[in-house]
Amino acid sequence: MASSASLHILANYNLPLSRALNVSVGCKVIMKSLNDIVAVYHKEIRKGDIQVAYNELVKFVMNTRTDIVKKLDHQYSFAKILHGYMDYTYFYYTNDFLKSKKLKFGLVLNHVEMRFEVWLLGNTISVQKEYWNLLKVTKWNKDKTEMPQYSILEAVIIDKPDFNNLALLSHNVQKNMVQVTDEIIALLNNT
């Protein structure tokens, strides 16, 4: 049986980790103890594939970011890569127009869904709620009934990445990122 400390730790995780662990956060029903989860993690990490895959994914996002900065540094300022908790690898980018609205974009590798996304984010929760109300009827939010947990909107730009052709993948991530970013900025200009 899990200790109350491990139950407390697990009960405080939010989705998608809780889904991956088969934990229901709302009801605080724990089906696996922390020891069980760590044992699975230990077994998998010892195989070596997770470290290699994670490092290669992060390296790919870093290299793609470098290419994007070279091409778009006259239009946007770019933050450094952030690693999340093995759930997301991402970086923020913004410009004066977005800053004036207290907004920024994020290029996100969603590890759980294994896809690339562009997120529009507010600098504060109140800004996010304000823009969620303005943009919840857009094509990016049409199937959502609630604001995403971390963003105003999340646009999938590569749904099934082919990591066997990194040059083409990077090209498509960059092309789709620019296209979606331009669409969202045009929409924001009209709000």
Q: Give the predicted TM-score (pTM) of the model.
A: 0.82
Residue 13: which residues within 8 A CB-CB, separation 6 or more?
21, 23, 25
The DSSP bridge partners found for residue 122 are 103
pLDDT band, residue 18 (cuts 50/70/90): very low
pLDDT digits (tens, 9 = 90+) for 47-74: 999 999 999 999 999 999 999 999 999 9
55 part of a folded domain: no
Co-location of 82 and 159 in the same domain: yes
Tell me the C-alpha distance between 137 and 130, whole Å: 13
**Strand-strand pairing, 88-94 and 77-78:** antiparallel
Co-location of 13 and 104 in the same domain: no
The stretch 158-175 carries a mean pLDDT of: 98
Query: What is the end-to-end Cα distance of the chain in Å, rounded?
Result: 54
165 part of a folded domain: yes
Co-location of 127 and 76 in the same domain: yes
146-180 in b/e form (b: 16+ CB < 10 A) is ebbeebbbbbebbeebeeeeeeebbebbbebbbeb
Co-location of 69 and 120 in the same domain: yes
Co-location of 111 and 185 in the same domain: yes
Number of domains in the chain: 2
The DSSP bridge partners found for residue 88 are 110
Co-location of 152 and 86 in the same domain: yes
Co-location of 25 and 69 in the same domain: no
Residue 21 reports pLDDT greater than 70: no
- Domain containing 17: what range? 4-47
Q: Tokens 């049409």 sit at which residue?
A: 142
% of the chain exceeding 70 in pLDDT:
84
pLDDT score for 142:
86
pLDDT band, residue 189 (cuts 50/70/90): very high
